[in-house]
């Protein structure tokens, strides 16, 4: 595969991931009064989250290895954001996993946390996308 194809794949994966995280906000909203369904949906969401973000990492590593650009500030920023996204998702998963029974009060707290975490992740992804667009246009030199 050529480097341009990998760059395009990486770009599509990132945009699809942004949409996926945005759509994930619907999980706590749609499952308001079903704690166990929320727990199961959150588990499936976490699996898909990690699958997509790992695919993004794989294409990014492929580009890093096969490009002549080397590791710059923008690459370091992307790695830090990736690690932060994984940290947030693992922390969220552990919190939801602690849900026992049909405790609606605890579930509502977790749902609020789920939405806040998703919003933070959306800001992180969108920030990196904007940064890379600005870099590609030559507005930001990093």
Q: How far apart are CA 13 and CA 139, in angstroms?
A: 24
Q: Which residues contact 44 (CB under 8 A, 6 or more apart)?
A: none
107's CB contacts (< 8 A; 6+ apart) are: 35, 38, 99
Question: Is the predicted pLDDT of residue 21 greater than 90, yes or no?
Answer: yes
Supply the pTM of this predicted model.
0.89
Handedness of CA 95, 99, 104, 105 (dihedral sign): negative
* pLDDT value of residue 3: 84
Whether 33 has a pLDDT exceeding 90, the answer reads: no
Rounded CA gap, 71 and 60, in Å? 11
* Mean pLDDT (the chain, rounded): 92
The closest of 28, 49, 44, 43 to 98, measured between CA atoms, is: 43
Q: Judge whether residue 103 has pLDDT over 90.
A: no
Q: What is the pLDDT of residue 1?
A: 73
Residue pair 81/60 in contact by the 8 Å Cβ criterion = no
Percentage of the chain lying above the pLDDT 70 cut: 100
Tell me the pLDDT tens digit for each residue of 56-101: 999 999 988 888 777 889 999 999 999 999 999 999 999 998 888 7
């Amino acid at each position: 595969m050529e480097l341009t194809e990998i760059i395009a794949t990486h770009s599509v994966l990132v945009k699809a991931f942004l949409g996926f995280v945005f759509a994930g906000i619907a999980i706590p909203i749609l499952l308001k009064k079903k704690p166990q369904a929320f727990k199961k949906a959150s588990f499936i969401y976490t699996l898909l989250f990690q699958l997509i973000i790992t695919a993004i990492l794989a294409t990014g590593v492929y580009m890093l290895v096969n490009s002549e650009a080397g590791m710059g500030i923008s690459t370091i920023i992307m790695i830090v954001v990736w690690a932060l996204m994984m940290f947030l998702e693992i922390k969220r998963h552990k919190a939801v996993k602690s849900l026992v029974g049909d405790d609606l009060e605890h579930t509502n707290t977790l749902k609020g946390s789920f939405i806040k975490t998703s919003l933070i992740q959306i800001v992180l992804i969108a920030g990196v996308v904007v940064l890379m667009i600005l870099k590609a246009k030559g507005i930001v030199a990093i």
